[in-house]
Chain A
């Protein structure tokens, strides 16, 4: 079970969180033309990375905040975590 550092609450066990997928996906802006390809990429197409991956988790049984977690998908090492509005440098 992973141990995730919630930037709001501190170190918590994985069972308090729910997974939210790739954090690098950007939703196309509202009221803008979007090509079929771009929309498909947004809705469906994901890279299944091996290695460092920035992903979303929601601290669902805690502060309910969505956070970003930089995790190695092969080793499960967690490098850094960010608040939802924090820039990932």
Chain B
């Protein structure tokens, strides 16, 4: 198909480069520099979608970010993306797009039956209808609504594209590169300020690209190009196109989404698809311009009805005629500018102006060109279904209440201009108290809350001369404050045509006997009648009206509909518009890809992965890894075809019979130094610490102030004023903050320093009856006998020339040691242990065996210290000092904590000695009791006891102390299991703790 609506010459597209693309399966041609919208219009395609509710045909309404209709599903490089505005999507070779919200096709859409049922689909229809019967919701209503709703389909595949985040600081951030943005940026840059200028479109210049003005004896477009070229050469300036500042957050932080690759057929190697900029600016200039607003009339959603500024942009930027028989319907001079452009390209428009006798330079020009102008005339209704075919027009009385005789005139598009709405979104998001400006019938920024200045059309200033003057001045003054430079810039001479006052007229009354739909919100099919219903039904607040009718919702967020909605409410309620107020502007200004928000933090990059110095050894020896917090730890070392259960059982058994070695580098380690170190420990831990001798370790439990156990671990006195604390892997960071909190804020008089040394030490736990023999061989010069290094003893040793710390501590319940060396020697230590340990049948063991060993010994860990248990619950009350005070002690007197039947840790064994009990199972008295079955406790950890060769679990059980010997049921509805169990002591193996002391 040829580009029948492309004019011979003109536009800013590159006619040397043809691009082929597909829309709804059909192939078309366009040019480099086109948007999908301009290329389709060049091919005469006006039908692009179906409306949200009534499935009415939809065309193009705008030419940019304000577009409410032309939302398509995009296919690019094997990926698909919904919710793309055809007016923003740049054309590339091979682009494919499809209409959304229609089935089976945009030309024949079954959902359009809603259009005939519309009497049944008024505002609030879904709220009112899908209420009853309740049981219908899941089966019928919800699936139906889900199928009917939506503007495209998200891909279910993994997104192969990459997204980046960037943090930037600048003196001045300028949002929008129209005349005010360029002037402000230029003045600030000349003063040496660090400037970022952001433009959401591919081309810089904003309104200068389409307006007929002169600046400093050049066309507006040439002047803009000159300024941009100069800004790009300045080292203190960053100029970004395709970059939308979509959010203005606290403390002058703004977020910008830069489309790096969306305009290309595929993303270049090493390039991101989008880049999200977090920009902290000292000052923000908002030069976001304004958006033309529609005039509301009958069937004003018909394809071919569009904003007059959009028609002008398609012509001047893209060289595309949106019609050959245009009708311009305006209440101000902007419509004439569009009409003049049509006329210059050999097309004869008809202008309907609602005003009686307007006079201005622009109108004079139109008259001189011989354009047919009808004053006090309005469009009553568009005619045509999939495309405008004609318009019913009529004269209108001065009070805008009475229509004259209806006439029908042929036309193929209706370009409508209802004056301009400043884009105040960013200002409003920043906390600016907006105010209503009567002369322009719109809200403009008022009192600033943050360092923000709104300029030009966004501030309701539509004169170019004034815009340039105020913007140059603002850029100068704001940057002068920051850089203390004051380079005077001559403000260029401006030639522009003066325009006349617009008509405060926004909605054409219905002719007698006609019931045309007059749409306010085109994306959500909200008509004048819907707002009338909402108000009749008692909705008053504009926020409520919005939510009930969906006016101003969805992806365009009412950029073209909000103000007309306010006008309507104010008219019906007989209030002035400022008294109605506007709904809150919230970020984002335009839709932002979830991928851009997430950035690189996906999959393994969502948090750092920490590996111990012995990681590569584990890998080489078939370790199966498990995430432990941010750490990767070996779960077990697979031999042959072993599964987890078999492998971990073998490893645990070897610890009980020979000796095993486990990588415990991940344990949190905190170095504590200072004369008051013992006093700090004494206040932090529940047990006594003042008398711990040098060279001894002690197990400690620390509480939160509310009495709940926070963490446990051993702390060793290395020397007089030097302690080495260990924490659990998961709580390491919290414990450090906790200690810092008390040292810095609560007890600053304590002379103590704490620092994390988790990464400084590599740790290996050597456990099992043969561990002492192995240790003796590793440290032949040290006395590691039971007397030389007793249980909970500490010494330094020499490991083949490497300084090592040896702690006799045990987590497995066996005779055990923990050896630490500086991290760089970790692998050396590990290989030596394995090598020397061979004769003792040493095997490495992973976290699964580690768990098994601690569970059968009744040692508590994270699954018991779960933020809900106190020392008593964990059978740790023996470690709670009665004599001294400590963090959280007072809370232990709370009545629930001293209740007779307080929960407590117990052991659980299945009666059949076969069935493993799923972790999380509930313990109940009667497995047949009606639901909800009263829960007595829960299984916190389960293992296969290698000592007894049967399943064993730990549980936190109500009145656990008195439940030993009782028979209960472990129920796991998730796993569909009911297991009869017996409650036993949590110390299943070696209850007297003889092995650790042997």
Binding site for B on A (CB under 8 A): 1-3, 13, 18, 20, 27-28, 30-31, 34, 39, 42-44, 56, 58, 60, 64-66, 75-76, 78, 84-85
Contact = CB atoms under 8 A, between A and B. Distances in A.
A13 B279 CA distance: 11
Contacts of A31: 884-885
Contact of B449 (A13, A30, A43, A75): A75
B253 interface: yes
Given A13-B253, A18-B737, A43-B706, 18 more contacts: A1-B251, A1-B253, A3-B250, A3-B251, A3-B280, A27-B705, A27-B746, A30-B885, A39-B891, A58-B740, A60-B737, A65-B740, A65-B744, A66-B744, A66-B745, A75-B431, A84-B745, A85-B744
Contacts of B253: 1, 3, 13
B252 A3 contact: yes
A76 B890 CA distance: 35
A55 to B, nearest CB: 12
Contacts of A42: 705
A13 B280 contact: yes
A42 B890 CA distance: 11
B683 interface: yes
A30 B683 contact: yes
A49 B890 CA distance: 27
Interface of B: 167, 249-253, 278, 280, 431, 449, 683, 705-706, 737, 740-741, 744-746, 748, 884-885, 890-891
A16 to B, nearest CB: 11
15 contacts: A1-B250, A3-B250, A3-B251, A27-B705, A27-B746, A28-B890, A30-B683, A30-B885, A31-B885, A39-B890, A56-B745, A58-B740, A60-B737, A66-B745, A84-B745
A43 B741 contact: no
A13 B745 CA distance: 22
B668 to A, nearest CB: 15
Contacts of A30: 683, 885
B363 to A, nearest CB: 48
A1 B250 CA distance: 6
Contact of B250 (A2, A39, A58): A2
A85 B748 contact: yes
Contacts of A66: 740-741, 744-745
Q: In terms of DSSP, what is the predominant structure of the interface of chain A?
A: loop
Contacts of A84: 744-745, 748
A39 B250 CA distance: 36
Contacts of B741: 20, 58, 66
A48 to B, nearest CB: 19
Nearest to A20: B741
Nearest to A60: B737
Contacts of B706: 43-44
A27 B744 CA distance: 13
B885 A2 contact: no
Which 10 pairs between the two chains have the least Cβ-Cβ distance?
A3-B251, A30-B885, A84-B744, A76-B250, A66-B744, A31-B885, A39-B890, A1-B253, A27-B746, A43-B705
A11 to B, nearest CB: 9
Contacts of A85: 744, 748
A81 B671 CA distance: 29
A2 B251 CA distance: 6
A6 B850 CA distance: 43
A14 B596 CA distance: 20
Most buried by B among A44, A64, A75: A64
A1 B249 contact: yes
Nearest to A76: B250
A78 B250 CA distance: 10
B972 to A, nearest CB: 34
A17 B250 CA distance: 16
Contacts of B891: 39, 43
Given A31-B885, A43-B706, A64 B431 contact: no
Contacts of B744: 65-66, 84-85
A33 to B, nearest CB: 9
A18 B737 CA distance: 10
A34 B740 contact: no
Contact of B737 (A3, A27, A58, A75): A58
Contacts of A65: 740, 744
Contacts of B746: 27
A71 to B, nearest CB: 10
B576 to A, nearest CB: 28
Nearest to A67: B744
B711 to A, nearest CB: 17
A66 B745 CA distance: 7
A45 to B, nearest CB: 12
B745 A1 contact: no
A27 B280 CA distance: 37
A30 B278 CA distance: 46
A69 to B, nearest CB: 12
Contacts of B250: 1-3, 76
A4 B111 CA distance: 53
A56 B744 CA distance: 11
A73 B251 CA distance: 13
Nearest to B249: A1
Contacts of A64: 740
Contacts of B431: 75
A84 B746 CA distance: 9
Most buried by A among B683, B706, B744, B746: B744
A76 B251 contact: yes
Most buried by A among B252, B280, B744, B745: B745
A60 B253 CA distance: 21
A64 B736 CA distance: 10
B429 to A, nearest CB: 13
Contacts of B890: 28, 34, 39
Nearest to B682: A30
Contact of A1 (B278, B740, B884, B885): B278
Contacts of A34: 890
A76 B252 CA distance: 11
Contacts of B252: 3
Contacts of B748: 84-85
A3 to B, nearest CB: 4
A43 B893 CA distance: 13
Most buried by B among A28, A42, A66, A75: A66
Most buried by A among B250, B740, B885, B890: B890
Nearest to B280: A3
A18 B891 CA distance: 25
Most buried by B among A18, A42, A84: A84
Contacts of A60: 737
A75 B4 CA distance: 56
B448 to A, nearest CB: 13
B433 to A, nearest CB: 12
Contacts of A28: 890
A56 B745 CA distance: 10
Contacts of A27: 705, 746
A75 B251 CA distance: 10
Contacts of A78: 251
A42 B706 CA distance: 10
A20 B738 CA distance: 11
Contacts of B884: 31
A3 B746 CA distance: 26
Contacts of A13: 167, 253, 280
A1 B748 CA distance: 31
Most buried by B among A1, A60, A75, A78: A1
Nearest to A42: B705
B856 to A, nearest CB: 36
Nearest to B746: A27
A26 B462 CA distance: 58
A23 B400 CA distance: 62
B671 to A, nearest CB: 14
A43 to B, nearest CB: 5
Nearest to A39: B890
B627 to A, nearest CB: 22
